[in-house]
Structure 1
Amino acid sequence: MRNRLDAGLLGLVGLLVAAIVIGAVRFGGTPTGEPASDGAQSLAAAMGPSANADAFARVTGPRPLDFPADHGAHPDHRTEWWYFTGNLTSPAGRDYGFQLTLFRTALAPEAGDRPSDWATRQVWMGHFAVTDVTAGTHRAVERYQRGALGLAGATTRPVRVWLDDWQIRSEGSEALFPLRVTASAPSRGIGIDLAIAAQKPRVLQGDRGYSRKGEEPGNASRYYSYTRLAADGEVRFADQTHAVTGSAWLDREWSTSALDADQAGWDWFALQLDDGRDLMVYRLRRQDGSTDPHSAGILVGPAGQSRRLSAEDFRLTPTREWQNPRTGSRYPVAWRIQLPDEGIDLRVNARLDDQAMPTTVRYWEGSVAVTGSASGVGYLEMTGY
C-alpha cells in the first residue's frame, strides 16, 4: 500500500488480480466501475507464497535507477504501482484528502503466442478515493482494465500512465514534473484535476532504492518517493467542483515477491510536517502482532536531505480504534509516533474515522492530522486487520 509496500499489495495484487480478471483478459470482458464489498479478500488468504515467482524478474539487491525509464513500467516484474496521496484546501477553507493509485500486474512471465489485438499479459487496476474532511464523507471506486488497445499502459517520453480516463501525465518530454493528474468517477460524484510540481528531489527508499521486506533477499522492491509535492487545481465531490491547493506525495514501487509467511500486514505513514520535514515509517506486523525487523522508514529534511530509518529508530503505538460497521474490522485510527534520537514525538489522528476502502482487497487509507512535537498532515494506510 501505499508503502507502498511491495511485500504487501505488490504480491497481493499480483495474485488477486490474476484470479479476478484473468477471465476478462482472455475472453473479452472489461470489468470497471464500483467494487462490491461482499466477497472481499483477506490479506492473509491472498498473499501465500507464489510457486512461480522465479519465473518473473526479482529484486535481489541494489542497482542504479535509470530515469526517465524507471518512471515507466517494468513488465517483467509481477507488479508495480504509481501511488498518489494528498491533502487539499479550498479558498473557503474546505478540506479534502485524495488517493489515486494505478497498479500494473503481469499475469505471466512471457507473452503468449496469440495474434489477437486484445491479447495481453498485463492487467491494470486503479483505486481512486476522495475524502471531504469538512463534511465527514469518504467515497472510493475501483477499476480494472487490460494492457492492450491503449486501454491502459505507461510510456516514458513523455511520462504517461493511464487506465481509461484516469491519467498521470508529464507536461514535458523528459522530466517527470510538472505533472497533470486527473481522475473522475461520475457514479460516485468525485473527481480530481491537479497540476503537480516537485518541491523536493526524489528520495531512494531502503538501500539506494532496494527496499527489503523479508528474510529472503528477493522479498524486496525497487522503491523511490517524492515526499513533498505542490498540488493546485480542482476537486469534485458530491457533483460540486471546488478550486483547491495543497500538498501531495508520490510512491513508486515494482517487484515480484510477496510477504514472508509470518507477516500479516502493515501500518504505513506518510507525513508532511509544517516545519518542512517529511516522515515515512512503516511497521510490518507479524502474525503474532509483533513488529518485523524489516520495518523501516525515512526522514527527509526541509532541503531534501534524508536519513534512512530502521525498525529500532522509531516506535509506533496505537491509541484508539475504530470498527468498520460493514466488515467488523477494527483499525487503529489514532497513533503515537516517537523517534527518540530526533526528538520527535507525534500524535497522528484520522481526520475521518471511516476512510476504509471498500475494494476487492480490504484496507484503510486516509487523511490524517499531526500534532505533538510538530504539526502537519499526511496519509495512513493499514492492512491485515
Structure 2
Amino acid sequence: MTLVLSVVWLTACSPGPGVPEAQPLDAMTLLGGDLDEGFERAIKPRTFLFPEDHGPHPGFRNEWWYITGNLDDEAGRRFGYQITFFRVSLTPTVPESASAWATNQVWMAHLAVTDVAGIGHRAFERFSRGAMGLAGARLDPFRVWLDDWVLASDGGNDFPWRLTASSGDIELELRLMPQKPHVLQGDRGLSRKSAAPGNASYYYSFTRLRTEGVIRIQGREHGVSGLSWMDREWSTSALEEGQVGWDWFSLQLADGHDVMYYRFRREDGSEDPFSKGLWVTPEGESAVIGVDQARLEVLERWTGPTGHRYPVAWRLHLPVQGRVMEIRAVRPDQEMDLSVRYWEGAVDVLEAGEVTGRGYVELTGY
C-alpha cells in the first residue's frame, strides 16, 4: 500500500544556494484533497490494462512502485529488503520553458536492507527532478529509475523484471517473476481511503514474486532466493482530516495463501472504517477483508533512538478464514530514519507457536 508515505518532499527540487530550503510535507498535506485541481481523480472502478498499467500515469498527482521481500542465502542467512520509487507532480502540466531541466515531476526513492543476523537494518533515500534522464518511468521497454536504482523488464514490458540498486556498502541485483497473477485491491482496483469522492487510489498487487539474485554487504556476496511482494498505486488525493497514520501488513503464508491488511488509525485512537485487506488463495483468487472481518491486537512495542515508539508484535484475527496469526518483527530496529521517519521491516508469521509465513509491515504516524 505505502500510500506515498509522506512522499514529500519538495526538498527533491532543492532551490539552490541562498534560497531557504523547502520544508517536508506531511502525509495529510500530500495525500489530502486540497491540491488536486487539474489532476485526474480515482472516482470509480476502471479497466486495468497490462502491461500498460505497469508504466506511468502522469495525469495523477502521486504514483509509486513498491517492492518488499524476504530472502535467504545458501547458508540460511536471512535478509529483508524494500525499495520504493515515488513520483509526485507539482503541477498538472509541464511548465513552459526552453530549459531541458524544466519539469513538473519530483522523484524520490527509498531503499532498505535488513541483514537479520549481521549488520542489522540500513536505509537510504534519493531525490531527483524528472528531467534530463535523471529519473522517470516508461514503457517499451518497461523501466522505472532514479539514478542507478532501476526496476526494469528483461525485454519488452512484462516480467521477468530485474531490480538493481546500491548505496554505501549495500548492493542488490535481483530477478522477479510472478508465481500468481496480479490481484486488484478494494473495489475492482479502486481502493477508497475515506468517504469523500476521489479520496482513493487505483491499486493492484503481485503478492508472490519468486526472487533470485545477489545481495552484497560490506564486500561479501550472498546468492539469495525467496519471495517478494509488489504494490502499485496511483492517485491524486487519498486521506482526510482525522486520519493520522496506518499499519500495513503483507503476509505470505507457507500454505500458499497471501494476506494484505491495512488499518487506518484516527486521532482518537480508533480504527478507521475504511481499513481493509485482501485474502489471496494459492490459485490466485482473492476476496476483500472488510474492517468488520479482522481484528488486530498490539502485543509488544519498541522505542527507537529517535524516541518514536512503534508496535513490533501483533495478533491478527481473521474469523472468516478461520486464522489467528501472531506477527513478529525479525528485529525491532527497522525504523526508516529518513526525510520522514516511519517503521518498515521484515516479520515472521506464527500460528499455534509455529512459523507459518513471512512478510513485511509498514507503520506511519507514530
Aligned to 1:369: 348
- Give the secondary structure class of the aligned counterpart of 1:53: coil
Listed as ranges, the gaps of 5+ residues in structure 2 are 18-22
Distance 1:124 1:230 in 2: 27
Q: Is the 8 A contact 1:40 1:362 kept in 2?
A: no
Aligned to 1:351: 330
Distance 2:279 2:133 in 1: 39
Aligned to 2:13: 22
| Deviation of the 1:47 alpha carbon | 4.9
State which drifts further: 63-72 or 93-102: 63-72
Percent of aligned pairs with the same amino acid: 50
Q: Residue type matched to 2:308 in 1?
A: S
Select 2:111's aligned residue among 128, 131, 137: 128
1:342 pairs with 2:342: no
Q: Is the 8 A contact 2:33 2:199 kept in 1?
A: no
Taking structure 1 as reference, are residues 245 and 62 closer, same or farther at Cα in structure 2, changes over 3 Å only?
same
1:278-326 CA-to-partner distances (Å, cap 9, x unmatched) read 000000111111001100110101111111111111111110000012x
The two structures have a TM-score, normalised by structure 1, of 0.90
Q: Residue type matched to 1:181 in 2?
A: L
Taking structure 1 as reference, are residues 155 and 377 closer, same or farther at Cα in structure 2, changes over 3 Å only?
same
| Equivalence map 1:319-330=2 (5 Å) | 319-325=299-305, 327-330=306-309
Distance 2:31 2:198 in 1: 15
Q: Is the 8 A contact 1:41 1:360 kept in 2?
A: no
Q: Is the 8 A contact 2:65 2:233 kept in 1?
A: yes
1:214 pairs with 2:194: yes
Distance 1:78 1:48 in 2: 9
How large is the Cα RMSD of the aligned pairs?
1.8
| Equivalence map 1:100-249=2 (5 Å) | 100-135=83-118, 137-174=120-157, 176-185=158-167, 187=168, 189-249=169-229
Aligned to 2:256: 276
Aligned to 1:31: none
Distance 1:192 1:23 in 2: 28
1:313 pairs with 2:293: yes
Q: Residue type matched to 2:209 in 1?
A: L
Distance 1:274 1:5 in 2: 27
| Deviation of the 1:23 alpha carbon | 3.7
| Deviation of the 1:40 alpha carbon | 7.3
- Give the secondary structure class of the aligned counterpart of 1:55: coil
Distance 2:266 2:30 in 1: 13
1:141-197 CA-to-partner distances (Å, cap 9, x unmatched) read 0000111111111111221111110001111314x2101011000x2x111100111
Distance 1:344 1:254 in 2: 31
Q: Residue type matched to 1:316 in 2?
A: L
Distance 2:51 2:184 in 1: 15
1:319-368 CA-to-partner distances (Å, cap 9, x unmatched) read 0000012x211100000001011111000000010000011111100000
- Give the secondary structure class of the aligned counterpart of 1:100: strand
Q: Is the 8 A contact 2:33 2:236 kept in 1?
A: no
| Deviation of the 1:55 alpha carbon | 2.1
Distance 1:65 1:43 in 2: 27
Q: Residue type matched to 1:281 in 2?
A: Y
The two structures have a TM-score, normalised by structure 2, of 0.94
Q: Is the 8 A contact 1:81 1:101 kept in 2?
A: yes
Q: Residue type matched to 2:9 in 1?
A: V
Listed as ranges, the gaps of 5+ residues in structure 1 are 29-38
Q: Is the 8 A contact 1:117 1:148 kept in 2?
A: yes
- Give the secondary structure class of the aligned counterpart of 1:360: coil
Choose between structure 1 and 2: higher helix proportion. 1
| Deviation of the 1:43 alpha carbon | 4.7
Q: Residue type matched to 2:260 in 1?
A: M
Aligned to 1:331: 310
Q: Is the 8 A contact 1:77 1:256 kept in 2?
A: yes
State which drifts further: 292-301 or 66-75: 66-75
Q: Residue type matched to 1:69 in 2?
A: E
Distance 2:155 2:320 in 1: 41
Taking structure 1 as reference, are residues 149 and 48 closer, same or farther at Cα in structure 2, changes over 3 Å only?
closer
Taking structure 1 as reference, are residues 47 and 112 closer, same or farther at Cα in structure 2, changes over 3 Å only?
closer
Aligned to 2:360: 379
Taking structure 1 as reference, are residues 142 and 96 closer, same or farther at Cα in structure 2, changes over 3 Å only?
same
- Give the secondary structure class of the aligned counterpart of 1:312: helix
Distance 2:159 2:283 in 1: 18
| Deviation of the 1:136 alpha carbon | 5.7
- Give the secondary structure class of the aligned counterpart of 2:12: helix
Distance 1:328 1:144 in 2: 26
- Give the secondary structure class of the aligned counterpart of 1:342: coil
Select 1:63's aligned residue among 28, 41, 46: 46
Taking structure 1 as reference, are residues 180 and 381 closer, same or farther at Cα in structure 2, changes over 3 Å only?
same
Distance 1:95 1:238 in 2: 16
Q: Is the 8 A contact 2:121 2:333 kept in 1?
A: yes
